[in-house]
Amino acid sequence: MRPEAMDAALFARQIAFIASSFRVLPLSKAIGLLKDGRLPPRALSITVDDGYEECATLMLPILQSHGVTATFFVATGPLDGEPIWNDRIIEALRVAPDESLDLRDHGLADYDLSGVAQRAKSARQLIERLKRLPAWTRRKVVEEITARVPQDAMPRMLSREQIRTLYQAAMGIGSHTRTHPILTRIPPEDAQREIQAGKRTLEEIIGAEVDLFAYPNGDYTMEHIEMARQLGIRAAVSTFPGAAAPDTDRYQLPRFTPWDTQTAKFGLRLLWNQFAPVKCRQPARPPVVHLGPQ
């Protein structure tokens, strides 16, 4: 059901390669150096979204063994082990006893569950549709689906204590909203509450300011950039590839995920990313979000 998922052994190989080939910097420090034009050659920051329990149980020891740090962007709604909604969907389709799941009465489709590959494909298709629906509609569909089958094998999310463990281990903690909505699909006032609530909860947990943010699903507008700025966010990361430069909009910092499992291809794709043109979803507004000489 998760053929694309990374395991600990692959993550360890990739981190070993990164640690030997790049200057791995905490994202917060890298942003400061970038702003001042003092970022060293081959600088790279590692980020991880959502806040799965494995960030603390599997990833942290690997990162520490190679002497590198990462920044974890955590959605605070499903803390303390509560599974996130998309994992509930995957598990429900994995164990469903029938060979199809008819959701046409919800304006969706009749999903094929006749084999493992078909179930995995249907889960991806259903999640892609559901994440673009209003929150209340999605919640109703998820509750209906998960009520049909028992579920006990879902990935779990970080606990508050594990978030503190990450922070005390010198890992960065960033906000990723409260319930991981697509900000462009909800009213502006709801988007502002989501950004503020996620930030505030994390600050209460670690007892320190949280001023980095990741847009859920990489969807945002200039309005959301301005919200983040006004709420005390210092920088935010997008899902666009490319390498940041001193004049890169710090509220639309590029991020790149090379999914290759072979180290050589992984390294070549990282190298390609160094020279990829940086794109932004929204034009930067220099008086507010543009980085330049001070």
pLDDT of 10 over the 90 cut = yes
For range 271-289, the mean pLDDT: 64
pLDDT surpasses 60 at 74: yes
The pLDDT of residue 288 is 38
Cβ partners under 8 Å of residue 187, min gap 6: none
Span 94-117, average pLDDT: 91
The average pLDDT across 197-221 equals 96
Q: Decide: 101 and 145 in contact? Cβ < 8 Å.
A: yes
Q: Which two tokens stand for residue 79?
A: 């803390």
Q: What pLDDT, on a 0 to 100 scale, did the predictor assign at position 149?
A: 67
Question: What is the length of the chain?
Answer: 294
Q: Are strands 110-112 and 172-175 parallel, antiparallel or unpaired?
A: unpaired
> In this model, does residue 293 exceed pLDDT 90?
no
Strand order through the sheet with 235-237: 47-50, 71-74, 172-175, 212-214, 235-237
Residue 292 has pLDDT above 60, yes or no: no
pLDDT of residue 5 exceeding 90, the answer is: no
Is the pLDDT score of 7 beyond 70? Answer: yes
pLDDT at 190: 94
User: How many Å apart are CA 118 and CA 98, to the nearest integer?
Assistant: 12
| Residue 38 confidence (pLDDT) above 70 | yes
- Calculate mean pLDDT across residues 75-86: 82
CA angle 68, 71, 76 (to 5 degrees): 145
Per-residue confidence (pLDDT) for residue 291, from 0 to 100: 38
What residues contact residue 133 under an 8 Å CB cut-off, 6+ apart? 141, 185
Q: Where are the alpha helices (DSSP H) in the chain?
A: 8-21, 27-36, 54, 60-65, 85-95, 116-130, 135-146, 160-168, 188-206, 222-230, 263-274, 286-289
Rounded to whole angstroms, the Cα distance separating 81 from 121 reads 26
List the Cα angle 242/245/250 in 5-degree steps.
90
pLDDT of residue 138: 85
pLDDT at 251 over 50: yes
Classify residue 40 by its DSSP letter.
Answer: P
8-80+156-289, CATH topology level = TIM Barrel (3.20.20)
At 43 the pLDDT is: 93
Q: pTM for this structure?
A: 0.87
DSSP-derived secondary structure letter, 106: G
Q: Are 26 and 69 in contact (CB under 8 A)?
A: yes
Q: How confident is the model at residue 147 (pLDDT cuts 50, 70, 90)?
A: confident
Copy the structure tokens of residue 158: 């970080």
* 75 neighbors 128 (Cβ within 8 angstroms): no
Which pLDDT band, with edges at 50, 70 and 90, does 286 fall under? very low
Q: Is there a contact between 184 and 220 (Cβ–Cβ < 8 Å)?
A: yes
Give the domain ranges of the chain: 8-80+156-289, 85-146
